[in-house]
Chain A
Amino acid sequence: MTAGLTSGRAYWRNLEELAESAEFGAIVRREIPRFADIVETFDRRRFLQLMAASMALGGLSACGPEPDPRQLLPYVQEPDNIIPGRNRYYASALTEEGYATGVLVAHQMARPIKVEGNPDHPASLGAASAIMQASILELYDPRRAQVAVGNGEISTWEAFVAALHDRRNALTARKGEGLRVLTGATTSPSLTAQIASLQQQFPGMRWHQWEPLHRDNERAAATSSFGRPVERTFDLGAADRIFAIESDLISATPGWLAYARAFAAARRPTETGGKMSRVYAIETTPTLLGAKADHRVAMRPDDLQASLRFLAGLLGAGPQEWSQAQNAHGTWLKAAADDLAQHKGGALVHAGREQPAEIHVLADAINDALGAFGKTVRLTAPIDASRDAKGQSLSDLASDMKAGKVDTLLIFDCNPVYDAPADLDFAGALRRVPFSACLALYDDETAGACTWRLPATHEYEAWGDVRAFDGTVTIQQPQVRPLYGGHSPQQVLAVLQGKSAASDYALLREYWRQRAQQENRGDFESFWHEAVRVGTVANTAEAALTLAPRRNAVTGLAAPTDRAANAIVALFRPDEGARDGRYADNPWLLEMPRTFTRLTWDNAALVAPATAKRLGVDTHDVVEIAIDNAKVKAPVFVLPGQAPDCVTLPLGFGRSAGGLGTGVGFDAYRLRQAAAPWVAQISSVAKSGDVQRLATTQAQDRVLGRDLIREATLDQFNKDPGSIAKKEEPASLYPPFDYSGRAWAMAIDLNSCIGCQACTIACQAENNVPVVGKDQVLAGRVMHWLRIDRYYSGSAEAPDIAFEPMPCMHCENAPCEVVCPVHATVHDHEGLNLMVYNRCVGTRFCSNNCPYKVRRFNFFSYTSQNDRPAESWNPQVTVRDRGVMEKCTYCIQRIRTTQIAAERDERPLRDGDVVTACQQSCPTQAIIFGDRNDRDSAVAKRKATPTDYVLLDELNTRPRTSYGALVRNPNPAIKSNQS
């Protein structure tokens, strides 16, 4: 365009002069004839008119992405049910490792602001994990990938489509030879069908999957036990005895939210009539189920297998002589075996995904011996769409890439350059692929290493279908138009199918139209409407298979080899928040205190106290860990309850590209090899002399003589439940206030709390709690309104663990209120301890005076420092500025919204109408909220149980938040968990 202007140095003073030049006019007429008249008549007025119009239109287009791009409606007449200040919910699902959990996304004025669990979805039952809660922040993350980049230059989606289309012709000629598709684990029926049809079109194409937290061992064991791949699902409600081998049953297994609910329900003796399940756990590194176990033994990985063989021998699941072997935990195991044997049909054994296939085979055999199949363990056809082992699949791909057999590689929803086993050298192999495209949410390591990188849609931005752990299908509906111009894998694959302009919506509808027809689901539109609305497709759960493990699967197992004395092994474990690294960019999850370590913004090498002593290291010391030639420097965290001679290395940190997580923590993947994905022999651990301060949020691990955790055994509970709570209400000089109307109160059951942190993040999402960053956490300024204290008792090697969620206690005699000089924190007539942000001058005396330390102060302007778009904050909750105190409000915005709705409808407020964010997200229903004055309310009933107590009752603060005492159910035959 500038060609005509470059002759001489034609300076122009303003646009008019430029526009009036004849050459310019000619260029315009030639290049953009549509604008010719505009340019010719372009004066200042016209320019301003156009500017004004474009500003106005720009404003309109910013008026909020509609939930459904198919139905764009002008705002001339207000759409039904979009009412300012009122939430509107849309069902969808979120996947982890491909498995779906149903969600309801709350919208305010058509903007998604909060994620809740979908009560109608089998994997959620209304609960939402911390990761699910945090997904809303990921959706809005301004650090997400926003532009397509092709061969190092900023490009467009259209350019990519054109490039891929060109390749398509070449591929068609070669029958797809050299074409590879790499995805994460997927359960999507439509994507699977699409890939299958692609495979027909390109017979030479191969589909690989990679999932760093794969469950290959579990799957291999299923093939060896049952002769075919199966999915194991569990009924924890029917399980009276659970034997867990480093189990992630209530922390990460697909469906864990639902499992956790059933698990907790079976362990509330106040509700079950004095009955409770009993859990035995053997593990190397603490798990949530281990923390809840009535008997827990920490042991090295090789001892796990030996112990399970011993147990199998005792229970007749393996050769008798196995139980004759020398075992340090023999008596313990014998007692456990006797107990399990007495509960045949009501017992189950579960092993975590990280355990070797041998352990899973043994677990299957013991489950069979205990009569668990069909009762506590259910077998179904696998849900994961692919039958391949993930590790093998990626190895095959990498070797093909190195061999030059791959010329077109499409990568969706996985990040192998970062998380592939280090010995595969995936990055090196990728350089040999002439055309590689990565569709990614962030400009991550893999995206950066591909010839093309394209912004992907978030799960809340695209249409899709996914399956839950039991097979139930959810149609994912987008909650918002793609914020950063992303596209879905289906759209990319459609280009190869010759459908360049296909939308994800059309592709999905096409698949389901055919399938509904095949399954005789009647009228498609009403089927579709119902499925999308409810968030599940009816009758899609997998039917149970009647299978029994083959006896010879066990007998063929190799005996575990004797370990070298004092050899230290590395355990690779997913991090609770970052998981395999895909959530490492999420500030909420980075700042979420990890259940046991209470660590934020870092991962650390977890070692047992004894091992730390032997290595001469302590928490914060940096060690250099070497496995063969690979070396990693990691800070040490001394973790009670960890097995000796093991170093747990949480994966998911040390990212080198992406968003906020770049450079946070150390990258344990660099030590992980394809042959040893979970346990590896460490060549050397050496103190490096450096010190790295780790930001933990809990100071002391023990209650130090305070009666904060009241606990008893089930026997004591059944004898004299009242003696556990030790209720004490000191006299007061002042008459009590008469709360004649409603009296809001909360009851938290310590027995149910599994320490999963979902409530902490739910509270953060609901109440606009800012993130403060590592420096501020180190400075003691973390802002979470609700924290879960973790206390140890007993020895450091085998501690008993208790979790205690700590929201505001809403004391009736609130010590914070009397010391505020300006009435910024006051009591209301329903017993809420209110915080008036606008009145606060920031003396911080209230925090000093709070015995429970639940008040948080804005030492800096954290809210404005948080890098997130304004529309992502909850509009119903005030954001707090610098210098203001804040704390848990019992979700007062929810109380008031519900009260107003009830008043408008002229109906009384019913129990269960007001649900706090923490209560809603809690998978185990540990938190109950309601009106204490209503005798029939759930909270009043919980508070009436004999084990209900309040913290620090000797201070006479009369808290509204009370706790249900912890009851453990130890086996009387076991005297000690230490051997």
Chain B
Amino acid sequence: MTALPTEFAPDAPVVAPDVTMTSLSERVSDRVLLPRAPLWWWVGFSISFLLLVVLLVQMAWLFVFGIGVWGVEIPVAWGFALVEYVWWIAIASGGTIVSALFFLTRSPWRSATNRIAESMLLSAAPCAGLMPIMHLGRPGLFYWLFPYSTVMGVWPQARSPLWWDFICLLCYILMSLMYYYVGILPDLATVRDLAQTRIKRIAYGILALGWRGSASEWQNQRIVYAIMSAIMAPMVISVHSVVGLDFAGGLTPGWHDTQFPPYFFFGAVVSGTAVIMMLTILVQWGYGLHGVLTDYHLNALAKVMLVGSLLLAYAYVWESFGPLYSGHAAEKTELYQRIFGFTSPAFWSEKILTVVVPQLLWFPAVRRSKLLLVLISAGIVLGMWQERYVFVISSLAHNYMPSYWGQFFPTLWDWAALAGTIGLFLTMFFLFLRFAPIVSLAEVREIVAEEKPR
């Protein structure tokens, strides 16, 4: 390394010089094909799975005894379920932003991290999708939100933001799955080709859909992938804006504001990137992929995080300005309660963790310290959870009717749902780590091929 930090060099390598085509394939696909997973994987997976069991027990309890086992009440009829729904969907959206948006901008660093981002997206999306169903009073009837023809001739109510949300989320999860699959197809073929056991050859053979690597297949795959990226990038913005409309469309002080669609999107950029950051460092460490996932990637992610944090700071200013500008007593008291009331510890902690602390990322030294990056990212993820907590709870608690103000006190089952979805997320991510190439072989090979001649 020269005196000049790598990130300032315009032609700095995206992958380490010692990475070759073969070493790359082996290094990445080995992780999938090894007969035994490494110890750290087992430890991580076991803990995650235990948490997943917590989720299952929680769901059983919830479905048997009813939504009353949570701390929701009137007026705070939405509790942790909605907090976590927004939290997870934002994390998932961050995955799409990194994967699709930066594909369109042709950012070279995205190639090694996009699979991590997409795996994370697919792990987070079910957590998000589960929450609105669990939180229904009659969860068995969630399918009534589908626009299907009933004998009664009753259709969903198209004016409800919840219905937009349901449709958006459904499309988003399906699209994300397809996007992931189109991207991973060539890699599955590589794994199939390198697989030593018959079962793995058959399994990956089926998944690879007979991919042979012909030029026309490559061409079609690249075109489909590009088109899907072009769809996914605006879609994630719209999906997350609709999540914002769930609240902005509500006549509740603190929610009823046009700024929330972008506000929520900014949050998604920050929290998604933060989770990708942590997972990238995990993969880099766990799989020893230092050559493929380099400081260059972490540096780029850190910069995205910083930008997101600045956008968020901007949104926070408007969050306070709106109620003051409205002049309505209810809006003003709600803002006051957010800042100084029951939720004020979360409010301040959230601002510090998501806006103040990330300003450290201005310093290149911080961006090179993995420990600091993990800490800042974890802080952001926690801060974003608190942001949604304050946003959902405080608005409902301090509504228009002072006589009917309330407060949300989470029960053990609320916490179990939170821990449980973290378990679901991690379990899924660990399965991705184990059974699918976690770095896009095809795309990194492209970079290796481009860089080698030098």
Which residues from chain A sit less than 8 Å from chain B, CB to CB? 698-700, 702-706, 708, 776, 779-781, 787, 789-791, 804, 806, 815, 818-823, 839-845, 847-849, 851-853, 855-861, 882-885, 952, 954-955, 957
Cα distance A885–B138 when bound, in Å?
11
User: Which residues of chain B are near A781, meaning CB under 8 Å?
Assistant: 68, 73-74
**B231 an interface residue at 8 Å Cβ cutoff?**
no
**B352 an interface residue at 8 Å Cβ cutoff?**
no
Residue pair B403, A851 in contact (C-beta under 8 Å): no
**B366 an interface residue at 8 Å Cβ cutoff?**
no
Cα distance A820–B154 when bound, in Å?
13
Selected contact of A821 from candidates B145, B332, B333, CB within 8 Å: B145
**B142 an interface residue at 8 Å Cβ cutoff?**
yes
User: Which residues of chain A are near B404, meaning CB under 8 Å?
Assistant: 698-699, 789, 853
Q: In the complex, which residues 115-173 of chain B have their Cβ closer than 8 Å to any Cβ of chain A?
A: 132, 135-139, 141-142, 144-145, 154-157, 159-163, 166
Given contacts A844-B137, A851-B399, A851-B401, contact A823 B157 (CB under 8 A): yes
Residue pair B156, A822 in contact (C-beta under 8 Å): yes
Residue pair A819, B154 in contact (C-beta under 8 Å): no
Interface size on B (CB < 8 Å)?
Answer: 51
Given contacts A699-B405, A706-B330, A859-B72, contact A818 B66 (CB under 8 A): no
Give the segment of B94-102, B245-253, B382-390 that binds chain A.
B245-253
Residue pair B75, A847 in contact (C-beta under 8 Å): yes
Residue pair B145, A859 in contact (C-beta under 8 Å): no
**B77 an interface residue at 8 Å Cβ cutoff?**
yes
Q: Output the least CB separation between B123 and chain A (Å).
A: 25
Residue pair B162, A821 in contact (C-beta under 8 Å): yes
Cα distance A921–B157 when bound, in Å?
37
Cα distance A319–B406 when bound, in Å?
55
Selected contact of B157 from candidates A702, A704, A821, A853, CB within 8 Å: A821
User: Which residues of chain B are near A885, meaning CB under 8 Å?
Assistant: 137
Cα distance A847–B406 when bound, in Å?
13
Selected contact of B66 from candidates A699, A823, A883, CB within 8 Å: A883
Chain B contact residues: over half helix, strand or loop, or mixed? Answer: loop
**B109 an interface residue at 8 Å Cβ cutoff?**
no
Interface hub of A852, A853, A955 (most chain B Cβ within 10 A): A853
Q: Which residue of A lies closest to B247 (CB)?
A: A848
Q: In the complex, which residues 351-410 of chain B have their Cβ closer than 8 Å to any Cβ of chain A?
A: 396, 399-407
**B291 an interface residue at 8 Å Cβ cutoff?**
no
User: Which residues of chain B are near A815, meaning CB under 8 Å?
Assistant: 250-251
Q: Which residue of A lies closest to B395 (CB)?
A: A848
User: Which residues of chain B are near A847, meaning CB under 8 Å?
Assistant: 74-75, 77
Interface hub of A839, A849, A885 (most chain B Cβ within 10 A): A849
Q: What would 20 more interface pairs be, CB under 8 Å, given A706-B329, A819-B250, A853-B401?
A: A699-B403, A699-B406, A706-B402, A780-B74, A789-B404, A791-B403, A806-B403, A818-B159, A819-B160, A822-B145, A839-B154, A841-B137, A844-B78, A845-B77, A845-B78, A852-B401, A853-B74, A882-B66, A955-B251, A955-B400
Interface hub of B66, B249, B250 (most chain A Cβ within 10 A): B66
User: Which residues of chain A are near B68, meaning CB under 8 Å?
Assistant: 776, 779, 781, 859-860, 882
Q: Which residue of A lies closest to B133 (CB)?
A: A841
Interface hub of B132, B155, B251 (most chain A Cβ within 10 A): B251
Cα distance A790–B166 when bound, in Å?
40
Cα distance A955–B71 when bound, in Å?
29
User: Which residues of chain B are near A954, meaning CB under 8 Å?
Assistant: 328
Cα distance A952–B253 when bound, in Å?
12
Q: Which residue of B lies closest to A789 (CB)?
A: B403
Q: Which residue of B lies closest to A855 (CB)?
A: B74
Residue pair B403, A883 in contact (C-beta under 8 Å): no
Q: Output the least CB separation between A958 and chain B (Å).
A: 13
Cα distance A114–B422 when bound, in Å?
52
Cα distance A141–B192 when bound, in Å?
73
Residue pair B250, A702 in contact (C-beta under 8 Å): no
Q: Output the least CB separation between A854 and chain B (Å).
A: 9
Q: Output the least CB separation between B316 and chain A (Å).
A: 23
**19 A-B contact pairs sorted by A residue (CB < 8 Å):** A699-B402, A699-B405, A704-B330, A705-B329, A708-B401, A781-B73, A789-B403, A818-B249, A820-B157, A820-B162, A822-B157, A840-B138, A841-B136, A841-B142, A843-B136, A860-B65, A883-B136, A884-B137, A955-B400
Residue pair B160, A841 in contact (C-beta under 8 Å): no
Given contacts A699-B406, A882-B66, A884-B138, contact A704 B251 (CB under 8 A): no
User: Which residues of chain B are near A848, meaning CB under 8 Å?
Assistant: 75, 77-78, 250, 252, 396
Residue pair A705, B333 in contact (C-beta under 8 Å): yes
User: Which residues of chain A are near B72, meaning CB under 8 Å?
Assistant: 844, 859
Q: Output the least CB separation between B392 and chain A (Å).
A: 9
Q: In the complex, which residues 19-35 of chain B have their Cβ closer than 8 Å to any Cβ of chain A?
A: none
Selected contact of A823 from candidates B132, B136, B139, B156, CB within 8 Å: B156
Cα distance A774–B446 when bound, in Å?
67
Cα distance A820–B71 when bound, in Å?
22
Q: Compute the total of residue contacts between A and B using a CB distance below 8 Å.
A: 170
The 3 A-B residue pairs with the shortest CB-CB distance, nearest first, are A842-B137, A883-B137, A780-B73
Cα distance A183–B407 when bound, in Å?
48
**B298 an interface residue at 8 Å Cβ cutoff?**
no
Q: Which residue of A lies closest to B406 (CB)?
A: A780
Q: Output the least CB separation between A697 and chain B (Å).
A: 9
User: Which residues of chain B are near A839, meaning CB under 8 Å?
Assistant: 144, 154
Q: Output the least CB separation between B7 and chain A (Å).
A: 46
Cα distance A616–B6 when bound, in Å?
66
Selected contact of B400 from candidates A706, A818, A844, CB within 8 Å: A706
User: Which residues of chain B are near A787, meaning CB under 8 Å?
Assistant: 403
User: Which residues of chain A are near B144, meaning CB under 8 Å?
Assistant: 822, 839, 841
Question: Per-residue 0/1 for B46-90: is the Cβ within 8 Å of any A Cβ (1 yes, 0 no)?
Answer: 000000000000000000011110011111111000000000000
Residue pair A882, B159 in contact (C-beta under 8 Å): no
Given contacts A699-B406, A781-B68, contact A852 B400 (CB under 8 A): yes
User: Which residues of chain A are near B396, meaning CB under 8 Å?
Assistant: 848
Residue pair A849, B162 in contact (C-beta under 8 Å): no
User: Which residues of chain B are near A844, meaning CB under 8 Å?
Assistant: 72, 77-78, 137
Residue pair B66, A861 in contact (C-beta under 8 Å): yes
User: Which residues of chain B are near A820, meaning CB under 8 Å?
Assistant: 157, 160, 162
Q: Output the least CB separation between B9 and chain A (Å).
A: 52
Given contacts A844-B77, A884-B138, contact A859 B400 (CB under 8 A): no
Given contacts A702-B402, A781-B74, contact A857 B160 (CB under 8 A): no
Residue pair A819, B249 in contact (C-beta under 8 Å): yes
Q: Which residue of B lies closest to A824 (CB)?
A: B157
Given contacts A821-B145, A848-B396, contact A856 B74 (CB under 8 A): yes
User: Which residues of chain A are near B75, meaning CB under 8 Å?
Assistant: 780, 847-848, 853
Residue pair A841, B138 in contact (C-beta under 8 Å): yes
User: Which residues of chain A are near B137, meaning CB under 8 Å?
Assistant: 840-844, 857-859, 882-885
Selected contact of A819 from candidates B76, B141, B161, B403, CB within 8 Å: B161
User: Which residues of chain B are near A884, meaning CB under 8 Å?
Assistant: 137-138
Cα distance A952–B407 when bound, in Å?
22
Q: Which residue of A lies closest to B409 (CB)?
A: A779
Residue pair A860, B66 in contact (C-beta under 8 Å): yes
Residue pair A821, B163 in contact (C-beta under 8 Å): yes
Given contacts A859-B67, A883-B136, contact A851 B74 (CB under 8 A): no
Cα distance A766–B160 when bound, in Å?
32
Given contacts A779-B71, A955-B251, contact A821 B160 (CB under 8 A): yes
Given contacts A700-B402, A853-B404, A955-B251, contact A845 B160 (CB under 8 A): yes
Cα distance A742–B300 when bound, in Å?
66
Residue pair B252, A849 in contact (C-beta under 8 Å): yes
User: Which residues of chain A are near B65, meaning CB under 8 Å?
Assistant: 860
Residue pair A849, B251 in contact (C-beta under 8 Å): yes
Residue pair B138, A883 in contact (C-beta under 8 Å): yes
Given contacts A780-B74, A847-B75, A851-B251, contact A704 B67 (CB under 8 A): no
Cα distance A804–B138 when bound, in Å?
33
Q: Which residue of A lies closest to B79 (CB)?
A: A844
User: Which residues of chain B are near A704, meaning CB under 8 Å?
Assistant: 329-330, 333, 402
Residue pair B67, A780 in contact (C-beta under 8 Å): no
